[in-house]
Amino acid sequence: MKVKTFAQSKKYTGNFLMDRTVIVVDVLRATSCIIWACRNGANRIIPVSDAGEGAAIASRLGDCIMAGERGGIKLPGFDLGNSPLEFSPEVVKGHNIVINTTNGTVALKAAEGAANVLAGAMINHSAVARKAAELGKDVIILCAGTEGEFSADDICAAGAIATSLCQYAEITSQCDLTLVARSLYKDWKEGRVDLSKSYHYSRLIDLGFAEDVDFCFQEDITDIVPCYRDGFIQPC
């Protein structure tokens, strides 16, 4: 199995993803929210490109929670922002969720041409790696990045996923960014790297989301692996 990591979603779309499993990673915070919402019993999660598309889908489906952010802050008129802890069982169980975020849902939609699209983060890195190994295709770890740029938080989570993949599959080749991501993850895990000065991490702290950041950097707290197919995300 070959593994590649992309730092952000803009350049890599279309046919390139065909016949591969793409693991979309937006550790802060969209894929962490999606994983947690699935774990807490959400029905279908629908990533959308903008609030207008979200409103159209919500009126078609009827029962829908609207979730999303811009600049980290809940969109006006929406039910939820992009804090994983908001997606509690009491709030999400049995409900559809329409979600629109600055980078994470863009990356999910960019991955639509792939054979399999999975949502990964720190909180499910072993489970998503195991699922990708079972699927048997070459893997692309597609980091959402932040505003079109490399984001250290995503690269660290990509490193966690790639490290876990090595346990479940024979890796015949890995790109340089995968190697760097694995090394960043190792250094972070062993306390040699402090991500709190990185751009998006520190911005979320400044916005008052320290609890979210702590939550999103817990490792393997769930085995849930969301799968995005035909416009909907549900557990695999």
The pattern of x and - marking residues 125 through 144 that bind ligand 3SL according to CB under 6 A reads -------------------x
Does 26 participate in binding Mg ion (rule CB under 5 A)?
Answer: yes
- Which one of 28, 108, 114, 177 is in contact with ligand 3SL (CB under 6 A)? 28
- Which one of 82, 116, 126, 164 is in contact with ligand 3SL (CB under 6 A)? 82
Does 72 participate in binding ligand 3SL (rule CB under 6 A)?
Answer: yes
The site partner of 86 among ligand 3SL, Mg ion, none (C-beta below 5 to 8 Å per kind) is none
Cα diameter, the chain:
50
The site partner of 69 among Mg ion, ligand 3SL, none (C-beta below 5 to 8 Å per kind) is ligand 3SL
- Find, among 137, 99, 73, the residue nearest to 232 by Cα: 99
Nearer to Mg ion, 1 or 68 (CB): 68
Sign of the CA dihedral with 170 first, then 172, 178, and 183 last: positive
189's tokens = 């895990």
Q: How far, CA to CA in Å, does 162 sit from each of 6, 17, 123, 179, 234?
A: 12, 18, 14, 9, 23
Does 151 participate in binding ligand 3SL (rule CB under 6 A)?
Answer: no
Nearest-5° Cα angle at 62, 61 to 63: 105
- Which one of 5, 8, 102, 163 is in contact with ligand 3SL (CB under 6 A)? 102
Task: Please list every residue from 179 through 208 that binds ligand 3SL, using CB under 6 A.
Answer: 204
Nearer to Mg ion, 28 or 48 (CB): 28
Does 104 participate in binding ligand 3SL (rule CB under 6 A)?
Answer: yes
Q: How far, CA to CA in Å, does 179 sit from each of 32, 148, 173?
A: 23, 21, 10
Does 69 participate in binding Mg ion (rule CB under 5 A)?
Answer: no
Asked if residue 141 lies in contact with residue 236, where contact means CB atoms within 8 angstroms, the answer is no
Q: Tell me the residue length of the chain.
A: 236
204's tokens = 């979320």
Residue 206 burial (10 A CB sphere; 0-12, 13-18, 19+): exposed
Does 28 participate in binding Mg ion (rule CB under 5 A)?
Answer: yes
DSSP calls for 157-171: HHHHHHHHHHHHS--
Does 29 participate in binding ligand 3SL (rule CB under 6 A)?
Answer: yes
- Strand, coil or helix: what is 137? coil
Does 103 participate in binding ligand 3SL (rule CB under 6 A)?
Answer: yes
Footprint of ligand 3SL (CB under 6 A):
26, 28-30, 69, 72, 82, 101-104, 144, 204
- Interface residue list for Mg ion (CB under 5 A): 26, 28
